[in-house]
Amino acid sequence: GAVVSQHPSWVICKSGTSVKIECRSLDFQATTMFWYRQFPKQSLMLMATSNEGSKATYEQGVEKDKFLINHASLTLSTLTVTSAHPEDSSFYICSAPGRGLNTEAFFGQGTRLTVV
């Protein structure tokens, strides 16, 4: 089946620094990718929709200047957490929709971000 690869799997950074997370579709092209955030013991919450060749659309309450999304090609979307703070520590997951209507979505392995 289709694979979505996310990198890195985990990262620790200092407060105030920026961290980039990559999401790649390995054997298919994805014009759209979704970014989710998941806090411990909670469900996945959609942060934004990444659109190839155009601006990302953000969910209400998500700061677009803090969570920069770039979808420069049909196989790569990146999420950059800028000026990270401890409260940004979370599990970030990307996904790509299925290749047809009403088909399964494909998820990356997730990235555990810890800001110290």
Partner 1 sequence: LAKTTQPISMDSYEGQEVNITCSHNNIATNDYITWYQQFPSQGPRFIIQGYKTKVTNEVASLFIPADRKSSTLSLPRVSLSDTAVYYCLVGEPGRRALTFGSGTRLQVQP
Binding site for partner 1 (CB under 8 A): 4, 6, 34, 36, 43-46, 49, 91, 93, 95, 97-110, 112
- Residue by residue, DSSP assigns 48-63 as EEEETTS--EE-TT--
Q: Are the C-beta atoms of 77 and 69 separated by less than 8 Å?
A: yes
Question: Any residues with CB less than 8 A from the CB of 50 and at least 6 apart, and which?
Answer: 32, 33, 34, 35, 56, 69, 70, 71, 77, 79, 94
Residue 116 beta carbon to partner 1: minimum distance, rounded to whole angstroms: 18
Choice between 67 and 106, CB closer to partner 1:
106
Choice between 89 and 98, CB closer to partner 1:
98
Choice between 61 and 100, CB closer to partner 1:
100
> Which neighbouring-strand residues pair with 48?
35, 58
Residue 14 beta carbon to partner 1: minimum distance, rounded to whole angstroms: 22
Residue 96 beta carbon to partner 1: minimum distance, rounded to whole angstroms: 10
